[in-house]
Amino acid sequence: METTVDDDLPEQMRIRREKRNRLLESGREPYPVNFPRTASLAEIRARYADLPTDTATGDKAALAARVIFIRNTGKLCFATLRAGDGTELQAMLSLDRVGQESLDEWKRLVDLGDHVGIHGEIITSRRGELSILADSWVMTAKALRPLPVAHKPLSEEARVRQRYVDLVVRPEARDMVRYRSTAVRSLRDTFHADGWVEVETPMLQLMHGGAAARPFVTHCNALDTDLYLRIAPELYLKRCVVGGIERVFEINKNFRNEGLDSTHQAEFAMLEAYRAYADYRDMAALTTRLVQNAARAVFGSETVVHHDGTTLDLSGTWREVTLYGSLSEALGEAVTVDTPMGRLLELADKHGISVDPLWVPGKLVEELFEELVVPGLVQPTFVYDYPVDTSPLVRQHRTQPGLTEKWDLYVRGMETATAYSELVDPVVQRERLVAQAALASKGDPEAMRLDEDFLRAMEYGMPPSGGMGMGIDRLLIALTGLGIRDTILFPLVRPE
RNA sequence: GGGCCGCUAGCUCAAUGGCAGAGCUGUGGACUUUUAAUCCAUAGGUUGCGAGUUCGAGUCUCGCGCGGCCCA
């Protein structure tokens, strides 16, 4: 179909539209339905890896990829093609092979960014570059917008807002997509090798729970009721364990209606896993194995080197500390679950931590810990034994009153995973949730509501269990050292 | 929410309050072995948006929008 050329467009876009029209006017397709390729660029590179300089193989191929670099001379044109996986291959078009008209059209109609298909012979140039020497070429998709300059970094904002462009021009962006895919597949492989069952539980929930966070609210027309986007799958996965799925995991999105910054996204992928007849120490062993296997799958080693040159050693058995022990060491004075609120407030004041009046003592301890201890937790460290008043779904510690059987895993100063020996006593569970509901009615937007169906499930009997949650984005950050905006393909950004 | 920095050509960036520029990209031309090709010529702008100060504003002031960093 003919299109009119819009005079308001920037010159370069107007010209590309004119070239599209020229293709149509001469009876060719700027967007053909397909182009039968006989090989990928990667296959050609692998097959002819050792071809000597200035060699003609006589082998013919049909290749297609995006043009990312053009060097045209009078009778011999060079172009660098780049496939989606980043593999590049040179194309050569010579007057004596393709003829005057085809060569002129190439020079006139092909811009950086266009997709082209080329039939030709695999050769190496006089400079030794593996190339396809064209017999003929076709446009497979005309690009109407120019690519950004190849050798200047795209601005951070442009990278995030136009990830498709970022993926074309920046190798690290392509790498991250594949790292992430490989890591998630590795997680599933580790579970499946051990007989776990993967499930999908509701994202739209009548009642949000399983974590302390503000939810997104939406409306269900059919039921004429508000629904919450889940903040965690925990309460449903526990229902699964009650029902007899003894090793169950889910990798899926959670949604939290909170601040956006370089480590927090409104939606994020999360792994949660529950195992009957396991405790939090078993879950630590599982987590270590999951992360180490993922590191090996992605980088081939349990020691990973980040872009900034720092090395992260994920191998072996990871360091273990306790919450109160590490905080006491940082403070230079012993802090325990019995330290009075007054003293904690003095310590918070001394270290410049502003306090919310709704906070319970345990919350204050965790804030102090976050401020004073966490930044130093670079190599993977399990932090054990959290106070009971901030962990309403966790079992009481078997020997230490006031504490729970919970750990957080920190890597590079970031909380990457957490696990509990799960609370399975439905009476205690109800008491804890009633207390949470009281907080909620006092105005704490992060407190949990009373989920009667969940309590009913617990009353049918949940076996002793360990549970673990790990942020997929955090895992990728730990493995690669990149920012969360780089680990998520399309992070939420303000509308343009 | 507060503070600081930024927003200029398709991209990346310059420009003492005094003619809005460069590189790459684009366009026209030369070139049969280029590798960010080279050479000649050339086009491209509502300087984020809106007010104000000034003879004169990309530059100074105020407001708004978007982004980044730091703090809460």
Contact A164, A84 (CB under 8 A): no
Nearest nucleotide relative to A161: CA against C1': B67
Give, in Å, how far the C1' of B30 lies from the CA of A107: 14
User: Quick one: which H or E segment has residue A159?
Assistant: helix A156-161
pLDDT tens, A435-465?
878 877 777 766 667 889 999 999 999 999 9
- Residues lower than pLDDT 70 in chain A: 1-9, 261-263, 308, 445-448, 496
Residue nearest to nucleotide B1 (CA to C1'): A259
Residue A86: how many other CB atoms lie within 10 Å: 16
Q: What is the pLDDT of residue A447?
A: 67
The Cα–Cα gap between A473 and A270 comes to 8
Nearest nucleotide relative to A12: CA against C1': B26
Contact A416, A475 (CB under 8 A): yes
Give, in Å, how far the C1' of B26 lies from the CA of A47: 37
pLDDT tens, A380-413?
999 999 998 888 778 989 999 999 999 999 998 8
DSSP A419-474: EEEB---HHHHHHHHHHHHHHHHTT-TTSPP--HHHHHHHHT---SEEEEEEEHHH
Q: What is the pLDDT of residue A437?
A: 81
Nearest nucleotide relative to A113: CA against C1': B25
Tokens of A93: 């078009």
Strand partners, A352: none
The Cα–Cα gap between A480 and A299 comes to 9
Residue nearest to nucleotide B65 (CA to C1'): A496
Whole-complex ipTM: 0.85
User: Considering Cα of A446, then A450, then A456, then A458, what sign does the dihedral take?
Assistant: positive
Chain B: bases < 7 Å from a protein Cβ: 9-13, 23-28, 30-37, 43-44, 65-70, 72
Nearest nucleotide relative to A494: CA against C1': B66
DSSP A299-348: HSSSEEE-TTS-EEE--SSPEEEEHHHHHHHHHTS---TTS-HHHHHHHH
